[in-house]
């Protein structure tokens, strides 16, 4: 039996999403012939060619034929006006971003080679505030990085042309996201699938036809990690069924696990045959055994499929089967990247911030240290779901064995550990093993900013190859951190992040606003704490997220404990995750969010630390006086205590 695993468009362009690699490795260890393809990157590359741009121009001209030039969106006007240059340079820019033509950097840096559309306005806006930002960021010798940044802006312009002029569902990292995310009905997705195909979906169909011809699979398995992958996944399934109606198509992944737990609409199964929830190894291998006649349908684990009741009515059936245990972390094996075009991915530089860029820059081997979260108490998190709630760690030696196996296969020594939160005990053991076994890697991942990360232990991690960590400061308010059961304080986060930074490890902080009962004053105070921490060098990168209550979190399940009331929800036939709520505090979070994002963008570029809070919010606001210099004092005391 041959299983073809695919990642639908669109995910990050610099490295493969790891789900198919993990499942390929696992299935091969169990004797199955597993092959994988990444239509996400291949679709993007097919659209970034000179012939494809010619088709894109024709479609754009048809869609905007009744518009005057001054009525055209800026990115469309610039694309049509500079089309010959876009068509001439697009393939060269892609090759450069793939690392295949580094000498092109000097031409790109001339600012006369690539056409510059609205995406390049960001440079002018920053220069108006702080002078020559490119010189400040890259100096005279940062030739490759500067060119990578300019080429990324070029790609962003072309992506905007496709979104605004060809396919409204196309985005570089999210494809048709609004059709799937927390959408209670399947109507919009279904209507889109029944409509005329777009240019991008036609290319996707051609790729899928090619994959089926190459691999001759017995089963097609699709991972849907994000809402934006759902449309692409269904397009792939639709194509598979058109080519071979009898081929079983199965779907799983992060979006499925989070949002399709109340699925009732049978139309979904016009495209696919089975949907598996949660950790994929056990449900998938049980399903394969069922398809081979080795198991009964009642054996299926956490799997949706169509069934028929005694009255002959077809309905969506969910078979849970808790008797078959999940595969332990020690037995899932190492990911295998065979079948993925590792030399075709693009290294992008989306922001002039060293920490922020690594999400889109570099080819990282993805690996998990543990399944689930060792803390699993945060009230805003989906702690009731398996991928958070069931904690299972592999040992340090097993991890280092897998690391060496991946280096051997891929030739790459960069690792991104994609855990919910890296468990400190296992992390420190792994760091020691890496050093003892002389394994040289560069690695980064997500942690909790807790006291166990002392200066000495941060240095140990740095010595083992840690280059960066990310973690949640969230609301930067001790009252709210306690309410969300985060298990840290603002002062503790400041000390821990400073320890990482002092060890030469870059730090990114996840930030949150709009938490239940959060006041305007608390939001302003939070920004002041962030300003101080970034100015003190605690972390270099951050991002403000608007809080959203979800049905699987303690807040969504017990809103009364957090002083809010959930809004009435519609009947769920398809996706369910975000839930609206009424907060009696009445804070204008939309207004505050705009100021928070503006401030953090400037802070990440080293700008605006001396500006008063009112500068960001366009109104008279100020931090509480007791917050002044809190971070500097806390760090000083922390350093003195460790010197003693």
Task: Report pLDDT digits (tens) over 33-46.
Answer: 999 999 999 999 99
Helix (H, G, I), strand (E, B) or coil at 37: strand
> What's the rounded Cα separation, in Å, for the pair 332 and 27?
9
What pLDDT is attached to residue 177? Answer: 62
Tokens at 616, concatenated: 């960001």
What pLDDT is attached to residue 159? Answer: 95
**In order of start, what are the domains of the chain with their CATH numbers?**
2-43+177-330 (3.40.50.2300), 46-165 (no CATH), 351-643 (3.20.20)
Place of tokens 């702690």: 383
Which of these, 158, 169, 174, lies nearest to 195 by C-alpha position? 169
> What's the rounded Cα separation, in Å, for the pair 120 and 64?
23
Low-confidence stretches of the chain (pLDDT beneath 70)? 173-178, 626-627, 643-644
What pLDDT is attached to residue 632? Answer: 77
What pLDDT is attached to residue 362? Answer: 92
pLDDT tens column, 433-492: 999 999 999 999 999 999 999 999 999 999 999 999 999 999 999 999 999 999 999 999
What pLDDT is attached to residue 170? Answer: 86
Q: How many CB atoms lie within 10 A of CB 229?
A: 31
Residue 378 has, within 13 A of its CA and on its CB side, a CA count of 21
**Total-model pTM:** 0.94
Q: What percent of the chain has pLDDT over 70?
A: 98
Q: How many CB atoms lie within 10 A of CB 456?
A: 10
Q: CA torsion sign, 41 to 45 to 48 to 54?
A: negative
Task: Give me the phi and psi of 420, to 5 degrees please.
Answer: -60, -45
Tokens at 126, concatenated: 């920053």
Q: DSSP label at 426?
A: H
Which of these, 562, 579, 21, 632, lies nearest to 338 by C-alpha position? 21
What pLDDT is attached to residue 171? Answer: 78
> What's the rounded Cα separation, in Å, for the pair 261 and 259?
6
């Amino acid at each position: 039996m041959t299983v073809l695993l695919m990642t639908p468009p669109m995910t990050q362009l610099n490295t493969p999403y790891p789900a198919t690699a993990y499942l390929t490795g696992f299935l091969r260890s169990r004797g199955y012939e597993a092959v994988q393809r990444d239509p996400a990157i291949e679709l993007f590359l097919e659209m970034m060619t000179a012939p494809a741009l010619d088709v894109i121009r024709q479609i754009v001209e048809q869609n905007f034929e009744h518009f005057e030039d001054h009525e055209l969106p800026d990115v469309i006007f610039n694309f049509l006006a500079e089309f010959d240059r876009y068509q001439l340079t697009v393939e060269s820019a892609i090759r450069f971003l793939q690392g295949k033509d580094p000498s092109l950097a000097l031409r790109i840096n001339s600012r006369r080679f690539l056409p510059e559309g609205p995406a390049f306005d960001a440079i002018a806006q920053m220069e108006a505030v702080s002078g020559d930002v490119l010189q400040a960021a890259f100096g005279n010798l940062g030739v490759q990085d500067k060119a990578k940044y300019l080429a990324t802006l070029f790609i962003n312009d072309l992506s905007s042309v496709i979104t605004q002029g060809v396919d409204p569902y196309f985005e570089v990292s999210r494809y048709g996201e609004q059709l799937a995310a927390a959408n209670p009905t399947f109507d919009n997705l279904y209507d889109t699938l029944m409509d005329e195909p777009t240019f991008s979906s036609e290319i996707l169909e051609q790729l899928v036809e090619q994959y089926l011809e190459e691999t001759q699979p017995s089963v097609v398995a699709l991972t849907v990690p994000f809402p934006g992958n759902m449309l692409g996944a269904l397009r792939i399934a639709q194509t598979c069924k058109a080519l071979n109606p009898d081929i079983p198509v199965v779907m799983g992944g992060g979006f499925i696990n989070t949002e399709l737990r109340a699925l009732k609409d049978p139309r979904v199964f016009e495209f696919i045959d089975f949907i598996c929830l949660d950790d994929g190894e056990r449900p998938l291998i049980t399903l394969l055994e069922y398809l081979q006649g080795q198991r009964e349908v009642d054996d299926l684990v956490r799997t949706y499929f169509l069934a028929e009741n005694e009255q002959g009515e077809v309905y969506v059936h969910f078979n849970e089967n808790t008797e078959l245990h999940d595969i332990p972390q020690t037995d899932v094996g190492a990911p295998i990247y065979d079948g993925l075009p590792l030399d075709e991915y693009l290294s992008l530089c989306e922001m002039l911030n060293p920490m922020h860029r690594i999400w889109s820059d570099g080819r990282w081997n993805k690996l998990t240290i543990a399944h689930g979260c060792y803390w699993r108490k945060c009230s805003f998190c989906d702690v009731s779901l398996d991928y958070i709630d069931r904690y299972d760690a592999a040992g340090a030696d097993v991890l280092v064995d897998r690391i060496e196996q991946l280096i051997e296969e891929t030739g790459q020594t960069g690792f991104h550990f994609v855990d919910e939160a890296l468990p400190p005990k296992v992390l420190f053991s792994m760091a020691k093993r890496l050093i003892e076994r002389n394994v040289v890697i560069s690695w980064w991942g997500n942690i909790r900013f807790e006291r166990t990360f002392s200066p000495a232990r941060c240095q140990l991690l740095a010595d083992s190859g840690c280059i960066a960590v990310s973690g949640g400061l969230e609301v930067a308010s001790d009252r709210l951190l306690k309410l969300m059961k985060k298990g840290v304080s603002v002062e503790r986060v400041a000390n821990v992040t400073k320890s990482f930074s002092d060890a030469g490890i870059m730090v990114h902080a996840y930030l949150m606003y709009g938490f239940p009962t959060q006041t305007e004053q608390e939001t302003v105070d939070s920004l002041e704490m962030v300003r101080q921490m970034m100015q003190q060098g605690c972390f270099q990168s951050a991002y403000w997220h608007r809080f959203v209550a979800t049905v699987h979190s303690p807040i969504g399940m017990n809103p009364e404990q957090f002083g809010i009331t959930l809004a009435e929800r519609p009947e769920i036939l398809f996706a369910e995750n975000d839930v609206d709520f009424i907060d009696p505090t009445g804070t204008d979070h939309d207004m505050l969010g705009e100021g928070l994002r503006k401030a953090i963008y400037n802070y990440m570029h080293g700008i605006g630390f001396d500006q008063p809070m009112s500068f960001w919010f366009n109104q008279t606001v100020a931090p509480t006086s007791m917050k002044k210099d809190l971070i500097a004092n806390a760090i000083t005391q922390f350093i003195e205590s460790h010197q003693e």
